[in-house]
Amino acid sequence: MNRVRVLDRLFGRFVPETDTLGVVVVDAEPPPRPHPDPARSFDTLAANRKVQDEITRYLREADPNRPPDHELVLAMETHRLPFLSERLMMLDSAWFAPVEWGAAMPAMNWATTGKEVRWVLRDPATGKENNDIGWHFRRGDVIKLRIANERAVLHGMQHPIHLHGQRFLVLAVNGKRNDNLAWKDTVLVPSGATVDLLVDLSNPGTWMLHCHIAEHLEAGMMTTITVD
């Protein structure tokens, strides 16, 4: 079961939501050989010393405290929205949750399509958006990328931003340093949040960077970066 609490964004209250995701069938027969006691390993966080050492060496060379080399703003535009939908979207922008586990008002999402809503990645340095951004890098570049999700847009949502072909570290969230570093290819950016990434551009080619919510991707929220 997926039991979560979802935010009713109109009234700012959480309501429970339950989905059955799958069913596990347990055999009457015991497993063929004794298993290690899972309760013991459960209490100990796994640590990958080799990866941690590599990240420490990497950060030493990359100067993670420098200002961002590039920025992206996450935004949204609407056009020809039905009057009632627009009013409701204004109202339901009053509240947001740091992580949205489900949608308390799915009808709001169903009422709009890519014809009325355009989700935007914007480079504030050039004003270019989505496929027009056109960033070029060279193999071996390490860039610091700041992604800021605009709080003021109608119906602001979290965006899981995914970069193909490369890897990155999430250095900070809302200016607070992240001490639990791991190589990632996706970062969740809640409404109103800012993340700082250190991107290891080691893989030549033309690669997508996009929101992993399929409707947002389809409604424009993607670009490509080229690593020469």
Binding stretches for Cu ion (CB under 5 A)? 159, 211, 213, 216
Q: Which is nearer to Cu ion, 104 or 211 (CB)?
A: 211
Helices (H) then strands (E): counts for the chain: 5, 13
Select 92 or 142, whichever has its Cβ closest to Cu ion. Answer: 92
C-alpha distances (whole Å) from 133 to each of 161, 167, 197, 198 are 16, 20, 18, 19
Give the whole-angstrom CA distance, residue 105 versus residue 116. Answer: 18
The encoded tokens of residue 139 equal 């193999």
Minimum distance, C-beta of residue 216 to Cu ion, in the bound complex (Å): 3
Shorter beta-carbon distance to Cu ion: residue 222 or 225: 222
Tell me how far, at minimum, the Cβ of 213 lies from Cu ion, in Å. 4
Lookup: tokens for 99: 């992580």
First-to-last CA distance in the chain?
46
What minimum distance in Å lies between the beta carbon of 71 and Cu ion? 17
Q: Which is nearer to Cu ion, 109 or 141 (CB)?
A: 109
